[in-house]
Amino acid sequence: MALYGAPVWAEHLNAQTRALLRSPQRSMALRIIRGYRTISCEAALILARTPPWDLEARVLSEIYYRTVEFKQRGDRVSLELTTRWRRQARIIIMRTWEDRLATPTAGRAVAAAFRPHLETWITHCKGTLTFRMVQMFTGHGCFGHYLHCTARREPTTQCHHCDHGDDTAQHTLEDCPAWAEQRAVLCATIGYDLSLPAIVTAMVRSSQGYDAIADFCEAVISQKEAAEREREADVAADPVRRRRGGRRRAIHERQLPP
Ligand SMILES: [Zn+2]
Protein backbone atom coordinates (compact mmCIF):
# COMPACT_ATOMS: atom_id res chain seq x y z
CA MET A 1 0.00 0.00 0.00
CA ALA A 2 2.86 2.40 0.80
CA LEU A 3 4.01 2.24 -2.82
CA TYR A 4 0.55 2.85 -4.27
CA GLY A 5 0.75 5.37 -7.13
CA ALA A 6 4.56 5.31 -7.02
CA PRO A 7 4.97 6.40 -10.68
CA VAL A 8 3.22 9.66 -9.78
CA TRP A 9 5.33 10.62 -6.77
CA ALA A 10 8.55 8.58 -6.92
CA GLU A 11 10.58 11.26 -8.72
CA HIS A 12 9.29 14.10 -6.52
CA LEU A 13 10.38 12.91 -3.10
CA ASN A 14 12.16 15.38 -0.85
CA ALA A 15 13.73 14.95 2.57
CA GLN A 16 10.38 15.40 4.32
CA THR A 17 8.37 12.95 2.19
CA ARG A 18 11.26 10.47 2.26
CA ALA A 19 11.14 10.60 6.05
CA LEU A 20 7.37 9.95 5.89
CA LEU A 21 8.11 6.77 3.94
CA ARG A 22 10.93 5.71 6.26
CA SER A 23 8.91 5.84 9.45
CA PRO A 24 6.36 3.08 8.68
CA GLN A 25 8.99 1.01 6.90
CA ARG A 26 11.22 1.16 9.97
CA SER A 27 8.30 0.02 12.16
CA MET A 28 7.60 -2.90 9.84
CA ALA A 29 11.28 -3.85 9.69
CA LEU A 30 11.52 -3.80 13.49
CA ARG A 31 8.53 -6.12 13.67
CA ILE A 32 10.12 -8.47 11.15
CA ILE A 33 13.40 -8.70 13.06
CA ARG A 34 11.73 -8.33 16.50
CA GLY A 35 14.34 -5.75 17.37
CA TYR A 36 14.36 -3.08 20.05
CA ARG A 37 12.63 0.10 18.95
CA THR A 38 15.80 2.07 19.47
CA ILE A 39 17.43 0.37 16.44
CA SER A 40 18.07 2.77 13.56
CA CYS A 41 16.13 2.61 10.31
CA GLU A 42 19.31 1.81 8.37
CA ALA A 43 20.16 -1.21 10.55
CA ALA A 44 16.56 -2.42 10.72
CA LEU A 45 16.14 -2.41 6.92
CA ILE A 46 19.39 -4.30 6.39
CA LEU A 47 18.54 -6.94 8.98
CA ALA A 48 14.97 -7.26 7.68
CA ARG A 49 16.34 -7.57 4.12
CA THR A 50 14.03 -4.86 2.81
CA PRO A 51 15.44 -2.18 0.48
CA PRO A 52 14.29 1.39 1.22
CA TRP A 53 10.83 2.07 -0.19
CA ASP A 54 11.91 5.23 -1.99
CA LEU A 55 14.24 3.07 -4.10
CA GLU A 56 11.51 0.49 -4.72
CA ALA A 57 9.20 3.34 -5.77
CA ARG A 58 11.70 4.58 -8.35
CA VAL A 59 11.84 1.10 -9.86
CA LEU A 60 8.06 0.85 -10.11
CA SER A 61 8.01 4.29 -11.71
CA GLU A 62 10.71 3.36 -14.21
CA ILE A 63 8.92 0.17 -15.27
CA TYR A 64 5.58 1.97 -15.54
CA TYR A 65 6.91 4.72 -17.81
CA ARG A 66 8.85 2.26 -19.97
CA THR A 67 5.66 0.24 -20.41
CA VAL A 68 3.70 3.38 -21.35
CA GLU A 69 6.39 4.38 -23.86
CA PHE A 70 6.37 0.94 -25.50
CA LYS A 71 2.58 0.89 -25.75
CA GLN A 72 2.47 4.38 -27.25
CA ARG A 73 4.83 3.15 -29.97
CA GLY A 74 2.50 0.20 -30.56
CA ASP A 75 5.04 -2.33 -29.26
CA ARG A 76 3.96 -5.31 -27.21
CA VAL A 77 5.32 -5.52 -23.66
CA SER A 78 5.91 -9.20 -23.00
CA LEU A 79 6.22 -10.84 -19.61
CA GLU A 80 9.81 -11.70 -20.51
CA LEU A 81 10.57 -8.04 -21.16
CA THR A 82 9.08 -6.80 -17.86
CA THR A 83 10.92 -9.56 -16.03
CA ARG A 84 14.19 -8.34 -17.57
CA TRP A 85 13.38 -4.74 -16.63
CA ARG A 86 12.68 -5.81 -13.07
CA ARG A 87 15.95 -7.70 -12.91
CA GLN A 88 17.86 -4.68 -14.20
CA ALA A 89 16.00 -2.42 -11.79
CA ARG A 90 16.83 -4.72 -8.91
CA ILE A 91 20.53 -4.38 -9.70
CA ILE A 92 20.18 -0.59 -9.66
CA ILE A 93 18.34 -0.70 -6.31
CA MET A 94 21.07 -2.78 -4.72
CA ARG A 95 23.88 -0.58 -6.06
CA THR A 96 22.14 2.60 -4.91
CA TRP A 97 21.45 1.09 -1.50
CA GLU A 98 25.10 0.00 -1.22
CA ASP A 99 26.21 3.53 -2.11
CA ARG A 100 23.97 4.98 0.60
CA LEU A 101 25.32 2.55 3.16
CA ALA A 102 28.85 3.80 2.50
CA THR A 103 27.92 6.93 4.47
CA PRO A 104 24.99 5.96 6.69
CA THR A 105 23.49 8.50 9.08
CA ALA A 106 22.99 5.78 11.72
CA GLY A 107 23.58 2.07 12.20
CA ARG A 108 27.17 2.45 11.05
CA ALA A 109 28.51 -0.82 12.49
CA VAL A 110 25.71 -2.90 10.95
CA ALA A 111 26.02 -1.05 7.63
CA ALA A 112 29.80 -1.53 7.49
CA ALA A 113 29.51 -5.24 8.28
CA PHE A 114 26.67 -6.08 5.88
CA ARG A 115 27.45 -3.72 2.98
CA PRO A 116 30.10 -5.95 1.33
CA HIS A 117 27.61 -8.84 1.36
CA LEU A 118 24.38 -6.95 0.81
CA GLU A 119 23.30 -8.76 -2.36
CA THR A 120 24.09 -12.19 -0.89
CA TRP A 121 22.43 -11.32 2.40
CA ILE A 122 19.25 -10.07 0.76
CA THR A 123 18.76 -12.64 -1.97
CA HIS A 124 20.67 -15.82 -1.17
CA CYS A 125 21.18 -16.15 2.58
CA LYS A 126 18.23 -18.22 3.75
CA GLY A 127 18.91 -18.50 7.47
CA THR A 128 16.37 -17.19 9.96
CA LEU A 129 17.51 -14.19 11.95
CA THR A 130 16.50 -14.64 15.59
CA PHE A 131 15.85 -11.70 17.88
CA ARG A 132 18.89 -12.72 19.93
CA MET A 133 21.08 -12.49 16.82
CA VAL A 134 19.58 -9.04 16.22
CA GLN A 135 20.60 -8.03 19.75
CA MET A 136 24.15 -9.20 19.13
CA PHE A 137 24.47 -7.44 15.75
CA THR A 138 22.98 -4.13 16.87
CA GLY A 139 24.15 -4.02 20.50
CA HIS A 140 20.58 -3.05 21.39
CA GLY A 141 19.63 -5.67 23.90
CA CYS A 142 20.73 -7.32 27.07
CA PHE A 143 24.09 -5.54 27.41
CA GLY A 144 25.16 -3.28 30.27
CA HIS A 145 26.23 -0.53 27.86
CA TYR A 146 22.81 -0.43 26.19
CA LEU A 147 20.88 -0.87 29.43
CA HIS A 148 22.74 2.05 31.01
CA CYS A 149 23.31 4.48 28.11
CA THR A 150 20.13 4.00 26.08
CA ALA A 151 17.48 2.20 28.11
CA ARG A 152 18.50 3.91 31.39
CA ARG A 153 17.76 0.74 33.30
CA GLU A 154 21.18 0.04 34.79
CA PRO A 155 23.24 2.29 37.07
CA THR A 156 26.49 1.52 35.16
CA THR A 157 27.71 -0.14 31.96
CA GLN A 158 29.39 -2.87 34.03
CA CYS A 159 29.26 -6.48 32.80
CA HIS A 160 27.44 -8.62 35.37
CA HIS A 161 29.30 -11.75 34.26
CA CYS A 162 32.88 -10.50 34.75
CA ASP A 163 34.63 -7.38 36.07
CA HIS A 164 34.76 -5.58 32.71
CA GLY A 165 33.55 -2.01 32.92
CA ASP A 166 31.72 -1.82 29.58
CA ASP A 167 29.39 -4.66 28.65
CA THR A 168 28.86 -4.33 24.90
CA ALA A 169 27.88 -6.85 22.24
CA GLN A 170 31.52 -6.98 21.15
CA HIS A 171 32.68 -7.64 24.72
CA THR A 172 30.18 -10.49 24.88
CA LEU A 173 31.33 -11.90 21.57
CA GLU A 174 35.08 -11.55 21.93
CA ASP A 175 36.17 -11.07 25.52
CA CYS A 176 33.79 -11.96 28.31
CA PRO A 177 35.27 -14.98 30.11
CA ALA A 178 31.80 -16.13 31.15
CA TRP A 179 31.15 -17.32 27.58
CA ALA A 180 34.50 -18.99 26.90
CA GLU A 181 32.94 -22.41 26.38
CA GLN A 182 30.34 -21.18 23.88
CA ARG A 183 33.02 -19.03 22.18
CA ALA A 184 35.31 -22.06 21.72
CA VAL A 185 32.53 -23.91 19.91
CA LEU A 186 31.89 -20.87 17.71
CA CYS A 187 35.59 -20.37 16.89
CA ALA A 188 35.96 -24.03 15.97
CA THR A 189 33.52 -23.38 13.12
CA ILE A 190 34.19 -19.81 11.96
CA GLY A 191 37.74 -19.06 13.15
CA TYR A 192 39.09 -16.63 15.74
CA ASP A 193 38.16 -13.29 14.20
CA LEU A 194 34.96 -12.36 16.04
CA SER A 195 34.62 -8.80 14.80
CA LEU A 196 31.18 -7.98 13.43
CA PRO A 197 32.37 -7.87 9.78
CA ALA A 198 33.99 -11.32 10.23
CA ILE A 199 30.86 -12.68 11.88
CA VAL A 200 28.67 -11.48 9.00
CA THR A 201 31.12 -12.85 6.42
CA ALA A 202 31.06 -16.27 8.09
CA MET A 203 27.28 -16.15 8.29
CA VAL A 204 26.67 -15.46 4.60
CA ARG A 205 29.38 -17.87 3.42
CA SER A 206 27.98 -21.10 4.81
CA SER A 207 25.02 -22.56 6.64
CA GLN A 208 27.43 -24.06 9.18
CA GLY A 209 28.74 -20.59 9.96
CA TYR A 210 25.22 -19.24 10.18
CA ASP A 211 24.11 -22.00 12.54
CA ALA A 212 27.20 -21.62 14.75
CA ILE A 213 26.55 -17.90 15.18
CA ALA A 214 22.85 -18.45 15.82
CA ASP A 215 23.67 -21.11 18.44
CA PHE A 216 26.16 -18.80 20.18
CA CYS A 217 23.68 -15.93 20.30
CA GLU A 218 20.87 -18.15 21.60
CA ALA A 219 23.02 -19.77 24.29
CA VAL A 220 24.66 -16.57 25.53
CA ILE A 221 21.90 -13.99 25.22
CA SER A 222 19.32 -16.32 26.78
CA GLN A 223 21.58 -16.60 29.85
CA LYS A 224 22.11 -12.84 29.95
CA GLU A 225 18.34 -12.36 29.75
CA ALA A 226 17.77 -14.83 32.58
CA ALA A 227 20.35 -13.02 34.70
CA GLU A 228 18.68 -9.69 33.94
CA ARG A 229 15.28 -11.06 34.94
CA GLU A 230 16.80 -12.21 38.23
CA ARG A 231 18.21 -8.75 38.84
CA GLU A 232 14.84 -7.20 38.00
CA ALA A 233 13.17 -9.50 40.52
CA ASP A 234 15.75 -8.57 43.13
CA VAL A 235 15.05 -4.84 43.08
CA ALA A 236 14.75 -4.63 46.85
CA ALA A 237 18.42 -5.58 47.23
CA ASP A 238 19.59 -2.61 45.15
CA PRO A 239 17.99 0.75 45.83
CA VAL A 240 19.40 2.22 42.57
CA ARG A 241 17.46 -0.31 40.49
CA ARG A 242 13.92 0.53 41.52
CA ARG A 243 10.97 -1.23 39.94
CA ARG A 244 9.72 0.71 36.96
CA GLY A 245 6.35 2.30 37.37
CA GLY A 246 4.14 4.74 35.55
CA ARG A 247 6.10 6.72 32.97
CA ARG A 248 9.31 4.69 33.39
CA ARG A 249 7.38 1.46 32.79
CA ALA A 250 5.75 2.92 29.66
CA ILE A 251 9.14 4.03 28.29
CA HIS A 252 10.63 0.61 29.01
CA GLU A 253 7.75 -1.20 27.31
CA ARG A 254 8.07 0.98 24.21
CA GLN A 255 11.72 -0.06 23.91
CA LEU A 256 10.97 -3.77 24.02
CA PRO A 257 10.81 -5.73 20.77
CA PRO A 258 7.32 -5.75 19.22
ZN1 LIG B 1 31.90 -9.75 30.81
Write out the residues surrounding ion ligand 1, Cβ under 5 A: 159, 161-162, 164, 176
C-alpha 143 – ligand 1 centre gap (Å)? 10
- Print the SS3 string covering the chain: CCCCCHHHHHHHCCHHHHHHHHHHHHHHHHHHHCCCCCCCHHHHHHHHCCCCHHHHHHHHHHHHHHHHHHHHCCCCCCHHHHHHHHHHHHHHHHHHHHHHHHCCCCCHHHHHHHHHHHHHHHHCCCCCCCHHHHHHHHCCCCCHHHHHHCCCCCCCCCCCCCCCCCCCHHHHHHHCHHHHHHHHHHHHHHCCCCCHHHHHHHHHHCHHHHHHHHHHHHHHHHHHHHHHHHHHHCHHHCCCCCCCCHHHHHHHHHHCCC
C-alpha 195 – ligand 1 centre gap (Å)? 16
C-alpha 116 – ligand 1 centre gap (Å)? 30
C-alpha 179 – ligand 1 centre gap (Å)? 8
Q: Tens place of pLDDT for every residue, the chain, 258 residues? A: 667 766 767 677 777 877 888 889 999 999 999 999 999 999 999 999 999 988 888 888 888 888 888 888 888 878 888 888 888 888 888 999 999 999 988 989 999 999 999 999 988 777 789 999 999 999 999 999 999 999 888 899 999 999 888 999 999 999 999 999 999 999 999 999 999 999 999 999 999 999 999 999 999 999 999 998 888 887 656 555 555 555 555 655 555 555
pTM of the model: 0.82
For the chain, which residues make up each domain, given as ranges?
6-120, 127-255
